[in-house]
Structure 1
Amino acid sequence: MRSFDAIIIGAGQAGPALAARLDAAGLSVAIIERHHVGGTCVNTGCKPTKTLIASAYAAHLARRGGDYGFSVAGPVTVDMPTVAARAAKVIHDSRQGNERWLEGLERVTLIRGHARFVAPRRISVDGETMTAPRIFLNVGGRAAMPDMPGIDAVTLLTNTDMVALDTLPDHLVVVGGSYIGLEFAQMYRRFGAQVTVVERSDRLIAREDEDVSAAVRAMLEEEGIAVRTGATCIGFAPDPAGIAVRVGCAADARPVLGSHVLMAVGRRPNTDDLGLAAAGIETDARGYIQVDDRLETNVPGIWALGDCNGRGAFTHTAYNDFEIVAANLLDGGDRRVSQRLPGYALFVDPPLGRVGMTDAEAARTGRPLLHAKRPMTRVGRAVEKGETKGFMKVVADAETRRILGAAILGTGGDEAIHGIIDMMNADQTIDTLRWAVPIHPTVSELIPTLLLDLAPSR
């Protein structure tokens, strides 16, 4: 049996960074990965999808050449093998960089294989047993495939399949009208496919405020994407055209016929085959590992980081999990997940940058509120770029004068939101941010002006 000072299971976003910190502290570390180093972000998530989105955006801009005073010879076409090869190179280079980094650490051993607990401090990897007083779980998640009628009778795609696709679907049906589904829907429409989004809820991205949901839907429909919300009886059946996707409960309800179907209805943690019961580690009903505010499981000396703990579903929250654990174990800190400010983006075009509470969440607190909202047509940078869709808005506490939440749906919104995120993290009032002097011409420059518009709800 091999002994280490620490064992990390999973080489996603939190695992390698933690291995490096532990190595620098003089500890011996085993980091175990059964598939690809880099996790979802590098291999099937952020890196390849944003690469594909960039290709789709370039094609979209080329088609709009007349708006900017130029023309291209003939229609804009997309070479999908080249698009896919570009994304594959980004994946390969990022993965290889992570592997070289880990292999270059003096006290870190990268072990390939499937890890399972055989006892609270004992791990088996393909027949080899190892132990450590500290064990960190960073096993990530995967696309959920819920039990829907006919799901076993057809071939469905997940995000993993989509980033490897080097052909253009005739008609892509996206089941799930949230973040992952909408990004793929728009990119493939811009690549030239017919696209339909099927969503069970009565609106897209239902966790957002209704004005955000409505604006995103309008943007997608303007590009020719069909949206079917309120799809309460989703089911599948083979069809000569490919796959028939049922969207309505009525016997005569017409299905959507697609050549390809992407399932984007959520994620599930990769905790099924870890032997967690052998270690006494508790999970919830969906399989997420239960952790406390410092990310420790119910078994002392075992932590869970990233998507598998259900405390965040983003690369940046997984990395922050690493930062919290490292600060507490190595720096004498007392960092907690509850101190984290929720922020994220939806990378459709234009993107949505979000932080803190929605308007609806703020209203439910019962606090006296201040609201402000401005269209992107009032943002000089957006006008100059010819990208004026969307709006920006802020909700604040009228008594404490602290920002409670903000949304920027518009060009550069995924970057501009960080000015608000930083002020909220610093616990500064709206008066402090109001006196910032942002650079002209940028999207961010309108934020102080937006704050001047804050007024009580009517």
Structure 2
Amino acid sequence: MPQTGPLKADVVIIGAGSAGMSAYKSARNFTDSILVIEEAHYGTTCARVGCMPSKLLIAAAEAAHHAHHAGRFGIRVSQVGVDGRAVMTRVRAERDRFVGFVLEDVEGWPEAHKIKGSARFTAPGRLLLDDGTAIEAGRVVIATGSRAVWPSAWDALGDRLIINDDVFDWDDLPGSVAVFGNGVIGLELAQALARLGVRVKLFGRSGRVGPLTDPAVTDAAHAAFAAEYRFTPNAQVVAVERQGDAVVVTEQVDGHEIEERFDYLIAATGRRPNLDRLGLEHAGIALDERGTPIGWDRHTTRIGDSVIFLAGDAAPDAPLLHEASDAGRIAGENAARFPFVAPRHRRTAIGVVFSDPQIAMIGQSHAQLEQAKTSFVTGTVDFTGQGRSRVAGRNVGRLNIYAHRVTGKFLGAEMVGPAAEHIAHLLAWALEADRSVQQMLDSPFYHPVIEEGVRTALRAARDAMDATSPAHRPCLDCRPAA
């Protein structure tokens, strides 16, 4: 019989990205009364326009970079050419392959569970689709993701204004690009395009470099990047306008106004959660001044005492695939098992920027420790002279490790340097295991490896603790020191 009246489901999931897909799989373990509403594309931001296509572009850039610099090892490369069309053909083809795997997963879901369209609340537990369909939901999981934002004045740039999503649909590489935003996306794209022969300038305004908060590590990162391409972390931009098919950026430099023309402006100036179009006020959800739901619990993903759960990039959480998947799993389970709502463990914070040198953030940042007035010491290694890094010609960067001044517990780290993506995992696992600096030093370190730099930083942290309070610091592990 045809459907009459509103659709009904125990669990309604809005959004079918990383968090939404994870929520669906989790909820299906407890109920088959599920609806997933998706207004655009099924699949993840990571596969379509994020993690994977950006790494494909970076891989091509690294190949070109290594070929250009092979001479320092005595290897003569007569000519290095970048075929922009071939680069982008591979990026798009492999991107589509990754997306295909995600779509195959969604295609296996029952058709009765999938609805195309946009939804908004009309009352607690009631949703209305853009085609007029009403839905009654026992519980709702919001996994609507986020979207890029930029100054409204830039709208006048028309098709010369693009975001990272657009880059991966290019047929060829442009001649020049202005990248605005010195966060993760801006850093990765600016360097990759520069290495592929595009004239690039990266404009920031915060003075920061990616997610780094430690001034010493930030300085090391800026020095490394600025030596390779033009990067101003605190640019004084006077005007951005379109002239013909070009974007003209006027910048104040040393008291003088300098104009430069670019083919495109890439806006990597931040993202906002896709919550403003959901009518959350009709669901009884209070929002703060930034439009974020008040009372959201990261460990249950529940908003206050409501029957609404929030997960993924739409939540005030780290915008990372593994965090979105974890949050989606928690949201789906708690929504399906409601009123039983259980807090779940969230993983140790870890973040990586796939620049060269790479950036890594583990656990508590320098800024968080300072803000909390934590008593901590810093152990440092400068990779300039680190053995294996120097052998490979990757001896750039700095690692700062933070440890509690009294207990010796490892608290977190910030790093720019070689193999940061791998070192970050070792440090995150140590933090997850609640290890002390001494216990970490008692772990094995092979020779010669880049990880020996971690040991150098750990030793420096231990020495700093010994220098400040050797008589009062407890013996956490009295085995022979490393």
TM-score normalised per structure 2: 0.86
Query: Is residue 2:319 matched to residue 1:313?
Result: yes
Query: Is residue 2:376 matched to residue 1:372?
Result: no
Over 3 Å counting, the alpha-carbon distance change for 1:333 and 1:401 in structure 2 is farther
Query: Is residue 2:464 matched to residue 1:456?
Result: yes
Deviation at 1:221, TM superposition (A): 2.2
Where 1:254 maps in the other structure, the secondary structure is strand
Over 3 Å counting, the alpha-carbon distance change for 1:13 and 1:381 in structure 2 is farther
* Residue type at the aligned position of 1:401: G
Aligned counterpart in structure 2 of residue 422 of structure 1, from 403, 410, 429: 429
What corresponds to 1:384 in structure 2? 391
Is contact 2:141–2:331 with CA below 8 Å preserved after alignment?
no
Is contact 1:176–1:263 with CA below 8 Å preserved after alignment?
yes
Deviation at 1:382, TM superposition (A): 1.9
* Residue type at the aligned position of 1:452: R
Aligned structure 1 segments of 4 or more residues deviating by more than 6 angstroms: 330-333
* Residue type at the aligned position of 2:198: A
Deviation at 1:327, TM superposition (A): 6.0
Deviation at 1:140, TM superposition (A): 0.5
Query: Is residue 2:115 matched to residue 1:111?
Result: yes
Is contact 1:23–1:108 with CA below 8 Å preserved after alignment?
no
Aligned counterpart in structure 2 of residue 302 of structure 1, from 308, 311, 314: 308
What corresponds to 1:179 in structure 2? 184
Where 1:253 maps in the other structure, the secondary structure is strand
CA distance in 1: counterparts of 2:400 and 2:452, whole angstroms: 14
CA distance in 1: counterparts of 2:365 and 2:249, whole angstroms: 33
1:302-341 paired onto structure 2 within 5 Å: 302-326=308-332, 328=334, 334-335=342-343, 340-341=347-348
Deviation at 1:435, TM superposition (A): 1.1
* Residue type at the aligned position of 2:464: P
Query: Is residue 2:286 matched to residue 1:279?
Result: no
CA distance in 2: counterparts of 1:448 and 1:41, whole angstroms: 33
Is contact 2:144–2:314 with CA below 8 Å preserved after alignment?
yes
Over 3 Å counting, the alpha-carbon distance change for 1:234 and 1:24 in structure 2 is farther
Answer with 328-337 or 91-100: which moved more: 328-337
CA distance in 2: counterparts of 1:105 and 1:203, whole angstroms: 44
Where 2:188 maps in the other structure, the secondary structure is helix
CA distance in 1: counterparts of 2:270 and 2:167, whole angstroms: 15
State the aligned residue count: 454
Is contact 1:42–1:95 with CA below 8 Å preserved after alignment?
yes
What corresponds to 2:417 in structure 1? 410
CA distance in 2: counterparts of 1:61 and 1:110, whole angstroms: 46
Where 2:26 maps in the other structure, the secondary structure is helix
Is contact 1:13–1:319 with CA below 8 Å preserved after alignment?
yes
TM-score normalised per structure 1: 0.90
CA distance in 1: counterparts of 2:57 and 2:208, whole angstroms: 26
Query: Is residue 2:40 matched to residue 1:40?
Result: no
Where 2:90 maps in the other structure, the secondary structure is helix
Over 3 Å counting, the alpha-carbon distance change for 1:206 and 1:423 in structure 2 is closer
- Which blocks of at least 5 consecutive residues in structure 2 are unaligned? 1-5, 469-482
Answer with 95-104 or 132-141: which moved more: 95-104
Answer with 122-131 or 40-49: which moved more: 122-131
1:100-249 paired onto structure 2 within 5 Å: 100-105=104-109, 109-125=113-129, 126-148=131-153, 151-154=155-158, 155-205=160-210, 207-223=212-228, 225-239=229-243, 242-248=246-252
- Which blocks of at least 5 consecutive residues in structure 1 are unaligned? none
CA distance in 2: counterparts of 1:439 and 1:109, whole angstroms: 52
Over 3 Å counting, the alpha-carbon distance change for 1:258 and 1:340 in structure 2 is same
CA distance in 2: counterparts of 1:436 and 1:320, whole angstroms: 29
What per-residue deviation string (whole Å, max 9, x for no partner) do you get for residues 275-325 of structure 1?
323323333333334423422124621111111122222222212212433
Deviation at 1:203, TM superposition (A): 4.5
Where 2:399 maps in the other structure, the secondary structure is strand
Give the greater-gyration-radius structure (CA): 2
Deviation at 1:326, TM superposition (A): 5.0
Answer with 195-204 or 320-329: which moved more: 320-329
Deviation at 1:151, TM superposition (A): 4.3
CA distance in 1: counterparts of 2:34 and 2:334, whole angstroms: 18
* Residue type at the aligned position of 2:313: D
Query: Is residue 2:337 matched to residue 1:346?
Result: no
CA distance in 2: counterparts of 1:158 and 1:442, whole angstroms: 38
Aligned counterpart in structure 1 of residue 407 of structure 2, from 388, 400, 406: 400
Over 3 Å counting, the alpha-carbon distance change for 1:209 and 1:48 in structure 2 is same
Where 1:349 maps in the other structure, the secondary structure is coil
